[in-house]
């Protein structure tokens, strides 16, 4: 089951408060700025900094390329309303 769009529209990284990329098929959220992913378990995003997984540049690049090829956009635009 996909995360609700209303939740995605406001979901932000708990550390830098920036937008995330949602990969439904991998059950994860990506913060490319901090090179970190957050797992989704039982349709619940685990948004605890201590539970995040650090990833390397290669994995960040893979996920960003996947996002681009599949039209996955960040959870929100940080410049909206600025």
- Whether 62 is covered by a domain: the verdict is yes
- Whether 10 is covered by a domain: the verdict is yes
- Whether 76 is covered by a domain: the verdict is no
Find the domain containing 16 and state its range.
5-70
Q: Is 41 left (phi over 0), alpha (psi -120 to 50) or beta?
A: beta
Query: Which DSSP category does 72 fall into?
Result: -
- Whether 80 is covered by a domain: the verdict is no
Q: What is the DSSP string of 30-45?
A: EETTTTEEEEEETTEE
Task: Find the CATH number of the domain harbouring 12.
Answer: 2.20.25.10
- Whether 54 is covered by a domain: the verdict is yes
| Count of domains forming the chain | 1
Span 2-30, pLDDT tens digits: 887 888 888 999 999 999 999 999 999 99
CA distance 80 to 74: 12
Average pLDDT, the chain: 93
> Residue 37 above 90 pLDDT?
yes
């Amino acid at each position: 089951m996909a995360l609700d769009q209303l939740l995605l529209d406001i979901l932000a990284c708990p550390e830098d408060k920036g937008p995330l990329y949602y990969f439904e098929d991998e059950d994860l959220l990506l913060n490319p700025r901090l090179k970190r992913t957050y797992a989704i378990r039982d349709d619940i995003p685990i948004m605890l900094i201590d539970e995040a997984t650090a990833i390397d540049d290669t994995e960040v690049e893979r996920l960003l390329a996947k996002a681009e090829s599949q039209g996955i956009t960040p959870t929100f635009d940080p410049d909206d309303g600025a």
